Chains A and B, each alone.
Chain A
């Protein structure tokens, strides 16, 4: 099945991340996993850092109304953009303005997606303005990623699956070791070299 890219319009949301290669690589990964995911029948799906909301809306093209969709973003304008994109695509998404998944009770999400801020920057970059939170990853691009990984065991349900976007420079082997210590398996399911960036999608589950 070819997944259609959801409609979006960000002209009124200037501090929100415009979908680009990393976004599309995650969309391609979901398309690749389409049959697997349909068999998994996730009941609760969460996208952390949903930005425009394109990815969480596209999930509704896979599961239609047989899944409950949730999204969070630390940037309030991204939360509004996500709701707007969801409604343009006639998809019901519940949105929370929060840090990662803070506020949700533990162990509910069967499907989790995160395209984090992954660019290597100074730590302070992240805090300067709202749009910087979409890319500034601090030391090794890993500051938000590592915080997220530590929370994985409490976010995912027992059968939960996570798709995480990473950059080669984030040190894939090390990420894999970190999640391994938390009791998860990981596997690279898709990669793409674009100008200046080498992008990967890691699939993580118990």
Chain B
């Protein structure tokens, strides 16, 4: 699971959970891979992101120093910034660990890079 995906997941699917976002990440195994960098593409993704959730994720996987606290202006033209976002979004992968619901503490395991978001009948 890439940090991009973390940005798109919530535990609102659990009954009695209001927001369920962002999930916190517990890492057991993480890898870094190389993905081709396309600045225009990253610039298209950035407006769709929840910046605070990304910051939190980056912090939880121990890479905090790489991103500014707030989304910068004119990021489209800042290649350095786009490269950093590219790296955290697409190149960091959680192979094993879990995602934890911020409201209930329910944990969703990640195995072989695949988060398991299946719920039991009494949780929906």
Known: A103-B9, A108-B48. A83 touches B21 (CB 8 A): no
In the complex the two chains form, is B117's CB within 8 Å of A103's CB? yes
In the complex the two chains form, is B116's CB within 8 Å of A76's CB? yes
In the complex the two chains form, is B21's CB within 8 Å of A105's CB? yes
A125 at the A/B interface (Cβ < 8 Å)?
Answer: no
In the complex the two chains form, is A80's CB within 8 Å of B8's CB? no
A95 at the A/B interface (Cβ < 8 Å)?
Answer: yes
Shortest Cβ distance from A68 into B: residue: B4
**Contact of B44 (CB < 8 Å), options: A43, A80, A99, A104:** A43
Question: Most chain-B CB neighbours within 10 Å: which of A79, A96, A99?
Answer: A96
A17 at the A/B interface (Cβ < 8 Å)?
Answer: no
Shortest Cβ distance from A73 into B: residue: B114
**Contact of B118 (CB < 8 Å), options: A94, A98, A108:** A98
Shortest Cβ distance from A102 into B: residue: B13
Question: Most chain-A CB neighbours within 10 Å: which of B12, B41, B117?
Answer: B117
Instruction: Report B1-60 residues with CB < 8 Å from chain A CB.
Output: 1-2, 4-5, 8-13, 21, 35-36, 38, 41, 44-45, 48
Known: A43-B48, A68-B45. A80 touches B114 (CB 8 A): yes
Known: A66-B38, A94-B4. A105 touches B117 (CB 8 A): no
- For A, the interface residue count at a CB cutoff of 8 angstroms equals 23
A92 at the A/B interface (Cβ < 8 Å)?
Answer: yes
Determine how close the nearest CB of chain A comes to the CB of B44; give it in whole angstroms.
6
A-chain residues with CB within 8 Å of residue B112 when the two chains form the complex: 80, 83
**Contact of A108 (CB < 8 Å), options: B1, B8, B108, B116:** B8
In the complex the two chains form, is B119's CB within 8 Å of A102's CB? yes
B-chain residues with CB within 8 Å of residue A102 when the two chains form the complex: 13, 117-119
Determine how close the nearest CB of chain A comes to the CB of B8; give it in whole angstroms.
6
**Contact of B8 (CB < 8 Å), options: A65, A66, A104:** A104
**Interfacial residues, chain A to chain B (CB-CB below 8 A):** 43-44, 65-66, 68, 70, 74, 76, 79-80, 83, 92, 94-99, 102-105, 108
